[in-house]
């Protein structure tokens, strides 16, 4: 059985060797063909240069033309040939040729004739020899020189195998003698190959013999150790030394004979040696020391002979040995415990560094073969895969410094390799992504409060080394600038994970985030890319928001820390955002960055007030005041005026959030002072910088609008804390500031100021709003509607003085809202309890005042100011007013016929002839009034409305009211309606007659 195993081992080795030999030989032939092509091309170029030089010399020879009289016919003329050119190819030299005979002259007087063509012809240039085709490997050459040699080597090998098998079966020779014969035959084959190598014509045969001999020596050494146990080969150390000696000899022969196949076989045998000679005991120093020496030998041979693809084979063998060692000994040798973990770390990282150094050592130019760098990257990939395996062992994950010294060391090796081979730049992105995933997995699964400081240091080192590398890479390779700033953004994502994973986070987190943010801002200044800064702002404040919700409710100390963090980062991003916006104003997100820096911190303050239940708003409002002053200062310095209304909106949102959540009548004075303080700040801001802000719109708009947002807060606080009967004085007080600002703008800003119109419109509109608000505030319910109507009419009046379209639009909206509230809101009739006096009720003044406001607005908006887009406001307001008066007419009739004692008006059209006829006669009279107005104003829509309403009244009369004509009252009612109808007819006829004339 042992003999059969030995034979199978040798045959398997031969089967493995033959394809490798074919591959290596084909590669060598390809390289030789390429070299011959290069040499032929060089020869062609030299030939072309020489031909061009010869032609240039010929073109510069003196001309052979002449101007003379034709000689007599009896005197033959000869012209000497030009001197022969120096031959280049095997072409005949130029010789003199006799001139052709000149024909006798004509019987005219002799005259001077022009020059004639040269009396000789230059011999044509020798034919340009065609270049021989690039030498290739013909089928005949391949079969005769290579295939037969390989087949012969295989036949020789099989013959030896069969002879050994026969001798074993017959018992001719002992195990010791078989081993000796095997060594002798292997050595003989190698020697024969070395001898034959001296004659270059038999190089293929020599390589085949040497390769066969190397395989035989490996096989015999293994058989002596594993099958026969022949002393001294039964000791693994002796066999190991013998096989290492064979490997060394194979490398030396490969270099001397320039035989890649011998190098490949030597390397293959070298990697199989530890497996074949394994004792089953773990000895990482001896094993990987040997593998390192083997790799160094392979790498030296690859660099010396430029067989750089051998480095890939060496890397594959090394990875295979590392994987086998990890599978067999990692658990049994307890490498996950204590200092023993440094052994696998050193093994994997050491070989990655070794192959990286080999890639640098083998590099000659950037276009050099990429096999060494790819081999080193493969070793880095193997090491990084092992780092992911380490995540399964708690004893390793509890020591993040050790684990990430290993991981970041791999990162450094990859960065060096990419620096050597820029074509492999994608490897950097891959290692960054894998490292980020590794850090994320470790953070989510293993991070604890005790390991937080180490984790923060690892995150920062990761971000710093890759950010520095991105900058260097940009300077060297002119990488697109926006990609530089994204490396620290990845670090910010990592810094967010501890807040998500831990119940409480140390304040050490925030200095780390600050360093990363500063790095991002610095890279943005360098590259001009602002999007990473915007993303960093969002991630930083998102981290603060998550941290906020980890704080316990009603935690005063936590609130102070939170406010310090939010305020500091808001000032940082606000200032640097404004600086970057001015530095690169045309960059994307240039204007969005400072605005976001202002808005997002206020969002966090709002969340803090809602989550922590802050009783005293001074801390929160104090930070809000600081941020507001900062933003208004940026408006003053940078001129970004959009920050003024942005700051106002943020402050009002913060105030309303706190007021709705935590306002108490017991502590009403403090918030009222804050409300008033913010109101005064925004009101006086444009006045303080009046000269600078004179031509701006937004600061003045913010000043005017600040009262609108603050009034609701103050009104609620005063109403809850100090209820009184004179609340109408509050809107009057708020009207003072916009009126004073209106006077200031009128006096100080010239008419040529393009912003003056908007300024006057806002201050005038706000002042009118507060003045008209006095009525609904002092009273209630319907007075809100009346206030809207009066405000709308007042804005239309102001529009005639300050032609700002926003005034007209706002007035139209308010008037329309008042109409909808009175005409389409059924609940309006339940605003108050019905009084005891008929007709004199609140509906009378509510509907009539609103209708008068609509008619006044229609009169004010005379052409050409009557249209808002495609809407005719004048006609709409007249229609709204007419409808309100018609509704008031019906409400008063219903109120008059509602039984006393009922709390609300009742509309009923059955059971009372007097009420039904009153409705009919009132509708007819109202229709007649519409006809009169329409005829008087020559307004067709009004006439049409009158005709329609009169038709409805007549239909009601005949179909509903006059069901029977028994009562004298019904006849009287009929007569009244008839008179009204005849009067309408007469008026219409008169109108038509006047119109024709």
- If you write DSSP's letter for every residue of 171-232 in order, what string do you get? T-S-HHHHHHHHHHHHHHHHHHHHHHHTSGGGHHHHHHHHHHHHHHHHHHHHIIIIIS--TT
Q: Give Cβ neighbours of residue 386 (< 8 Å, ≥ 6 apart).
A: 322, 326, 344, 348
- From CA 536, how far away is CA 623, in angstroms rounded? 21
Mean pLDDT of 361-366: 63
Residue with tokens 């109108």: 991
The whole-angstrom separation of Cα 926 and Cα 946 is: 8
Cβ atoms within 10 Å, residue 326: 17
**CB 783 within 8 Å of CB 774:** no
pLDDT of residue 439: 94
> To the nearest whole percent, how much of the chain has pLDDT over 70?
65
The C-alpha atoms of residue 237 and residue 598 are separated, in whole angstroms, by: 74
| CA-to-CA dists, residue 991 to 932, 942, 945, 947, 996, angstroms | 10, 14, 16, 14, 9
With a cut of 50, say whether residue 82 has pLDDT above it.
no
Helix, strand, or coil here: 335?
coil
C-alpha atoms less than 13 angstroms from C-alpha of 496 in its C-beta half-sphere: 20
Report whether 468 contacts 491 (CB < 8 A). no
Question: What are the tokens at 685?
Answer: 């801001």
b vs e for 180-200, b when ≥16 Cβ sit within 10 Å of the residue's Cβ?
A: ebbbebbeebbebbbebbeee
What values do phi and psi take at 132, rounded to 5?
-70, 140
Structure token digits, residue 216: 């035989």
- Residue 95 has a pLDDT of 38
Average confidence (pLDDT) over 588-604: 81
pLDDT tens digit sequence for 221-276: 666 655 556 667 556 566 566 666 766 666 666 666 666 666 676 667 667 767 76
Tell whether omega for the bond before 43 is within 30 degrees of 0, i.e. cis.
no
Maximum Cα–Cα distance for the chain, whole Å? 164
List beta partners, residue 868: 871
Q: Give the orientation angle of helix 342-362 with respect to helix 400-420, to 10 degrees.
A: 10
Say how far apart CA 188 and CA 179 lie, in whole Å: 14
The β-bridge partners of 871 are: 868
For residues 250 and 262, the answer to whether their CB atoms sit within 8 Å is yes
Closest C-alpha among 308, 300, 196, 304 to residue 247: 300
CA pair distance 609, 915, nearest whole angstrom: 60
| CA gap 320, 313 in Å, rounded | 11
User: What confidence score (pLDDT) does residue 649 get?
Assistant: 92
- Counting Cα atoms < 13 Å in the Cβ hemisphere of 250 gives 31
Report the 10 Å Cβ neighbour count for 618: 13
Distance CA 712, CA 722 (A): 15
676 pLDDT exceeds 90? yes
Q: What is the DSSP letter of 508?
A: T
Distances (CA, A) of 863 to 297, 800, 857, 874: 100, 11, 12, 9
Collect all residues with Cβ–Cβ distance below 8 Å to 759 and sequence separation of at least 6. Answer: 697, 700, 701, 745, 749
From the list 766, 853, 778, the residue with the least C-alpha distance to 807 is: 766
Give the tokens for residue 987.
């008026």
Beta bridge partners of 872: 867
Q: Is the pLDDT of residue 867 over 70?
A: yes
* Centroid of chain to Cα 338: 43
**Interval 765-788 mean pLDDT:** 76
Map tokens 């005026």 to a residue. 641
Asked if residue 537 lies in contact with residue 600, where contact means CB atoms within 8 angstroms, the answer is: yes
Does 317 have pLDDT greater than 80? Answer: yes
Distance in angstroms (rounded) separating the CA atoms of residues 330 and 337:
10
- pTM here is 0.60
Residue 716 CB neighbours (<10 A): 14
Over residues 553-586, the pLDDT tens digits come to 655 566 888 888 888 888 888 888 878 877 877 7
467: Cβ contacts below 8 Å, ≥ 6 apart: 484, 487, 488, 519, 523
Of 233-247, 354-368, 468-482, the least confident: 233-247
Mean pLDDT (the chain, rounded): 75
* CA 226/CA 468 separation, integer angstroms: 55
Comparing 107-116, 166-175, 493-502, 744-753, which segment has the lowest mean pLDDT?
107-116
Query: Encoding tokens for residue 440?
Result: 């994320």
Q: Rounded CA gap, 267 and 250, in Å?
A: 8
Judged by DSSP in three states, 443 sits in helix
Lowest-confidence segment of 83-92, 183-192, 588-597, 657-666 by average pLDDT: 83-92
**Phi, psi (deg, nearest 5) at residue 804:** -100, 120
In angstroms, the Cα distances linking 578 to 249, 488, 601 are 71, 21, 16
Half-sphere exposure of 484 (CA within 13 A, CB side): 27
* Residues written for the chain: 997
C-alpha to C-alpha distance for 337 and 402, rounded to whole angstroms: 12
User: What average pLDDT score do residues 613-634 get?
Assistant: 88
Dist. CA 138–CA 119, nearest whole Å: 53
What is the distance between the alpha carbons of residues 374 and 420, in angstroms, rounded to a whole number? 11
Q: Rounded CA gap, 772 and 783, in Å?
A: 10
867: part of which helix (H) or strand (E)? strand 867-868
Lowest mean pLDDT among 154-168, 391-405, 615-629, 767-781: 154-168
């Amino acid at each position: 059985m042992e003999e059969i195993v030995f034979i199978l081992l040798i045959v398997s080795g031969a089967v493995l060797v033959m394809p490798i030999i074919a591959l290596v030989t084909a590669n060598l032939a390809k390289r030789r063909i390429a070299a011959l092509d290069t040499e032929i091309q060089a020869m062609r170029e030299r030939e072309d240069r020489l031909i061009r030089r010869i032609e240039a010399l010929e073109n510069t020879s003196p001309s052979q033309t002449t101007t003379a009289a034709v000689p007599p016919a009896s005197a033959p003329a000869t012209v000497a040939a030009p001197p022969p050119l120096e031959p280049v190819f095997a072409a005949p030299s130029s010789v003199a040729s006799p001139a052709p005979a000149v024909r006798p002259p004509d019987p005219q007087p002799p005259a001077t004739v022009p020059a004639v063509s040269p009396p000789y012809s230059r011999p044509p240039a020798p034919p340009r020899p065609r270049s021989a085709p690039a030498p290739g490997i013909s089928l005949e050459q391949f079969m005769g020189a290579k295939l037969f040699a390989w087949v012969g080597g295989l036949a020789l090998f099989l013959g030896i195998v069969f002879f050994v098998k026969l001798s074993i079966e017959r018992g001719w020779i002992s195990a010791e003698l078989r081993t000796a014969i095997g060594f002798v035959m292997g050595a003989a084959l190698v020697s024969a190959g070395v001898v034959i190598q001296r004659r270059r014509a038999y190089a293929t045969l020599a390589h085949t013999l040497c390769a066969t001999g190397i395989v035989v020596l490996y096989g015999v050494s293994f058989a002596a150790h594993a099958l026969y146990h022949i002393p001294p080969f039964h000791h693994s150390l002796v066999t190991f030394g013998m096989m290492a000696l064979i490997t060394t000899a194979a490398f030396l022969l490969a270099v001397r004979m320039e035989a890649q196949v011998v190098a490949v076989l030597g390397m293959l045998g070298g990697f199989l040696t530890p497996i074949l000679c394994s004792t089953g005991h773990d000895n990482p120093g001896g094993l990987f020391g040997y593998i390192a020496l083997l790799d160094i030998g392979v790498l030296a041979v690859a660099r010396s002979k430029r067989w750089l693809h051998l480095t890939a084979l060496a890397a594959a063998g090394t990875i295979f040995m590392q994987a086998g060692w990890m599978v067999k000994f990692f658990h049994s040798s307890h490498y996950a415990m204590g200092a023993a973990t440094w052994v696998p770390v050193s093994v994997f990282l050491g070989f990655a560094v070794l192959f990286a150094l080999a890639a640098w050592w083998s590099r000659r130019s950037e276009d050099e073969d990429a096999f060494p760098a790819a081999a080193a990257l493969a070793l880095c990939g193997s090491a990084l895969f092992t780092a992911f395996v380490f995540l399964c062992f708690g004893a390793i994950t509890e020591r993040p410094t050790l684990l990430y010294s290993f991981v970041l060391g791999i990162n450094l090796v990859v960065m060096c390799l990419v620096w050597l081979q820029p074509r492999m730049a994608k490897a950097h992105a891959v290692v960054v992504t894998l490292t980020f995933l590794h850090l994320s997995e470790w953070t989510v699964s293993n991070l604890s409060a005790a390991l937080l400081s180490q984790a923060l240091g690892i995150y920062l080192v990761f971000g710093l080394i890759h950010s520095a590398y991105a900058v260097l890479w940009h300077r060297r390779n002119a990488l697109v600038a926006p990609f530089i700033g994204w490396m620290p953004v990845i670090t910010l994502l990592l810094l967010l994970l501890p807040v998500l994973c831990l119940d409480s986070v140390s304040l050490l987190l925030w200095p780390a985030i600050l360093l990363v943010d500063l790095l991002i801002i610095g890279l943005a200044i360098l590259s001009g890319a602002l999007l990473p800064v915007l993303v960093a702002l969002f991630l930083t404040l998102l981290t603060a928001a998550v941290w906020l919700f980890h704080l316990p409710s009603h935690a005063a100390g936590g609130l102070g820390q939170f406010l310090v963090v939010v305020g500091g980062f808001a000032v940082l991003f606000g200032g640097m955002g404004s600086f970057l916006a001015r530095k690169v104003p045309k960059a994307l997100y240039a204007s969005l960055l400072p605005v976001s820096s202002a808005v997002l911190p206020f969002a966090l303050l709002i969340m803090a007030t809602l989550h922590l239940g802050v009783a005293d708003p001074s801390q929160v409002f104090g930070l809000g005041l600081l941020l507001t002053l900062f933003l208004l200062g940026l408006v003053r310095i940078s001129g970004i005026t959009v920050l003024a209304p942005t700051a106002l909106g943020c402050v009002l949102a913060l105030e309303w959030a706190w007021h709705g959540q935590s306002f108490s009548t017991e502590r009403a004075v403090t918030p009222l002072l804050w409300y008033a303080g913010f109101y005064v700040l925004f009101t006086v801001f444009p006045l303080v910088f009046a000269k600078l802000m004179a031509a701006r719109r937004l600061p003045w708009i913010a000043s005017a609008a600040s009262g609108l947002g603050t009034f609701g807060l103050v009104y609620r606080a005063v109403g809850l804390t100090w209820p009184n009967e004179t609340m109408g004085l509050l809107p009057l007080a708020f009207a003072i500031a916009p009126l004073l600002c209106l006077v200031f703008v009128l006096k100080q800003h010239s008419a040529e100021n393009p912003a003056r119109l908007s300024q006057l419109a806002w201050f005038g509109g706000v002042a009118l709003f507060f003045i008209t608000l006095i009525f609904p505030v002092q009273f209630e319910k319907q007075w809100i509607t009346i206030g809207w109507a009066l405000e709308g009419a007042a804005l239309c009046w102001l529009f005639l003085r300050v032609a700002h379209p926003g005034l007209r639009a706002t007035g139209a909206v308010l008037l329309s809202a008042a109409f909808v509230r009175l005409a389409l809101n059924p609940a309006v009739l339940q605003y108050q309890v019905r009084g005891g006096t008929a007709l004199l009720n609140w509906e009378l003044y509510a509907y009539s005042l609103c209708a008068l406001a609509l008619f006044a607005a229609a009169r004010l908006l005379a052409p050409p100011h009557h249209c808002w887009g495609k809407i005719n406001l004048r006609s709409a307001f007249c229609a709204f007013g007419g409808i309100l008066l018609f509704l008031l007419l019906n409400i008063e009739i219903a109120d008059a016929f509602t039984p006393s004692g009922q709390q609300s008006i009742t509309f009923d059209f059955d059971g009372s002839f007097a009420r039904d006829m009153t409705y009919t006669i009132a509708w007819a009279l109202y229709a007649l009034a519409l006809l009169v107005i329409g005829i008087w104003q020559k307004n067709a829509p009004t006439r049409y409305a009158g005709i329609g309403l009169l038709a409805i009244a007549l239909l009601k009369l005949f179909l509903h009211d006059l069901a029977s004509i028994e009562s004298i009252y019904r006849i009287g009612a009929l007569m009244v309606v008839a008179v009204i109808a005849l009067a309408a007819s007469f008026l219409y006829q008169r109108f038509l007659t006047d119109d024709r004339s």
